[in-house]
Amino acid sequence: MIEIAPGVFVRRHTELDLTLGLITGSGDSLVVDAGLDPVFARAARPSRIVLTHNHFDHVLATEAFLPCEVWAHEDCVVDGRVLDERAKYYDDPFEGTLVAPTHTFRESVTLDVGGRRVDLHHFGPAHTSHDVVVHVPDAGVVFAGDLVEEGAEPQAGPDATPSNWRAVLDRVLALGPRVVVPGHGNPVDARFVREMAIPAAT
């Protein structure tokens, strides 16, 4: 775990260069994305987990964090398509149970994490139809999911809306973040986000 602001951590994984988050308050914590590895769940016992989107590398280990609330945008569906996507990368069968969100929102919602404010936002379709941005205002940190990637170009799959991607990033930048945590790669600053290339439609 790497502390990037007081009580805000990232966990970096070699597997797919994945970046997960942990936000702590007084006696409480929230995880940003489940990832692939249940080991993280044994280290962090949050009351809530937020899924930034439903791609397999961000959701498959959710079961290991239970019991906890699972937050996502209302259009986030975790079903067999997640396993179909995983099968493009791995030959072995998935050992576990897919977990659907238990709590959803449409545009924005504010959570209390041990006395600490954490805002969840959906700024419109971009990487997926249901991207969630997690903002920790007192730390100046935004977890952007795969709206931002460091070390590789952002990917636009069949469910992406590249034409709206820049507008979504502009709204992320309007939050005034000091640090932006990508879904893959190391944390970056606002300048990186402002200058990043937007993927073309596929």
Identify whether 171 is part of a domain.
yes
- 51: nearest Cα among 74, 67, 29, 84: 74
Residue 42, pLDDT score = 85
- 200 lies in some domain: no
Label residue 200 by pLDDT band (50, 70, 90).
confident
124-150: pLDDT as tens digits: 999 999 999 999 999 999 999 999 999
- Residue 157 confidence class, pLDDT cut points 50, 70, 90: confident
> How many structural domains is the chain composed of?
1
Q: 102 lies in a domain?
A: yes
Q: What residues make up the domain containing 83?
A: 2-195
> Number of helices and strands (H, E) in the chain?
5, 12
pLDDT at 59 over 90: yes
Q: Is residue 201 part of a domain?
A: no
pLDDT-derived band at 25 (thresholds 50, 70, 90) equals very high
Domain CATH number, residue 172: 3.60.15.10
The per-residue b/e assignment along 89-125, b for 16 or more CB within 10 angstroms, e otherwise, is eeeeeeeeebbebeebbeeebebebeebebebbbbeb
d(C-alpha 149, C-alpha 66), whole Å: 28
Assigned domain for 60 exists: yes
The answer to whether residue 157 is domain-embedded is yes
Domain contains 42: yes
State the average pLDDT for the chain.
Answer: 96
pLDDT at 202 over 80: no
Tell me the percentage of the chain whose pLDDT exceeds 70: 100
| pLDDT tens-place string over residues 164-185 | 999 999 999 999 999 999 999 9
